[in-house]
Structure 1
Amino acid sequence: MEELLEDVVNALVSIVEACGAAVIIIGAVWAFARFVWVGLRRRDTSAFVPVRLTLGRFLALGLEFQLASDVLRTAVAPSFRELGQLAAVAAIRTALNYFLGKEIAEERRQVAEETKGARTGSGSTSAHGSSDPA
């Protein structure tokens, strides 16, 4: 019975790892396509921020799938060595995810400030009537 459980878990690990890899690959391809598209249309570096944010989200999600596969791998009678490896891998991936999340949040904040500043700048001119000759 334990062998059957181990076989099922190993199959699930492979599926979850493949899902994580697929998410990362899809995100990288999407980001590269958007990078090329935006790069051909605009040379402004701020145009690439949304591309980076989306790629970051794909990477974070892919890392979560990879962590899930590591957890599954140790589900059936783990040794202390396997648990130690899981703890190390989980710590590294969690740290990566944390810093990636911080970077995404910071860039979102910057985009929001730039968008708000652009709206305020164009809206305040017409609101005060500076373009009006009277």
Structure 2
Amino acid sequence: MDDLLGEQWLSAAVDLLVRVVEAAGALIIFVGAMVAFVRFVINGVRHRRTESFVPVRLGLGRFLALGLEFQLASDILRTAIAPTLREIAELAAVAAIRTALNFFLSREIKEERAELARRQGGAPDPADPGAAVSAEPSR
């Protein structure tokens, strides 16, 4: 009886954690979409040039990648307690799809960042403090 209550408590606790992590991932994606939308509107009104939207896409891409990582974490948590073979197979499929999405999204972000730096003569994107690209050769 104690084992059953312990399993039920653990299952309920993990279910709560799954919901919290899923909500965090959804919130990250939502906030990223709202930030990108506001930046899109501002850039559209001020600049009206296609290349002014590249930093907006890069920012949204970073939010999407982070949100997908949280969603994958929730899927892993969901199968943490006595998973069936079907649940493991579903997790593997979902993980593969999300990993592929994240890979291609990261690659596109990297390519866009390089293109943006090339257009700006090697200057880093001011909206991205983590993308400091040095224009000087390393010594």
Give the letter aligned to residue 31 of structure 2.
I
Given candidates 44, 50, 59, the residue that maps to 1:45 is: 50
Q: Report the AA paired with residue 31 of structure 1.
A: A
SS of aligned partner of 2:48: coil
Aligned mates of 1:91, 1:117 — CA distance in 2: 35
Q: CA deviation at 1:91?
A: 0.1
Cα distance between partner residues in 2 of 1:117 and 1:72: 42
Aligned residue type for 1:9: V
Aligned equivalents of 2:12, 2:22: Cα separation in 1: 15
Deviation string 1:71-127 (CA, Å, 9 cap, x unpaired) is 000000000000000000000000000000000000000001111179xxxxxxxxx
Q: Note the residue ranges of structure 2 that are not aligned, 5 or more in a row.
A: 1-5, 124-139
Give the total of aligned pairs: 118
TM-score normalised per structure 1: 0.86
**Match of residue 55 from structure 1:** 60
* Counterpart for residue 126 of structure 1: none
**Identical aligned pairs, as a percentage?**
63
Cα separation, 1, equivalents of 2:97 and 2:61: 16
Q: Which has the larger radius of gyration?
A: 1
Task: Select the residue among 71, 76, 80 that pairs with 2:76.
Answer: 71
Give distance in 2, aligned partners of 1:117 and 1:54: 19
Mapped partners of 1:52, 1:113: distance in 2:
17
Give the distance between the partners of 1:105 and 1:117, measured in 2 at CA.
14
Residue of 9, 14, 20 corresponding to 1:9: 14
Query: Deviation digits for residues 19-68 of structure 1, max 9, x if unmatched?
Result: 00000000000000000000000111110000000000000000000000
Q: TM-score under structure 2 normalisation? A: 0.83
Name the aligned partner's letter for residue 46 of structure 2: R
Higher relative contact order (CA 8 A, sep 6+): 1
Question: In structure 1, the residue corresponding to 2:35 is in which secondary structure?
Answer: helix
Aligned-residue Cα RMSD (Å) equals 1.0
- Provide the secondary structure at the position in 1 that maps to 2:99: helix
Which 4+ runs in 1 deviate beyond 3 A? none
Shift of the 79–114 alpha-carbon distance from structure 1 to 2, 3 Å rule, reads same
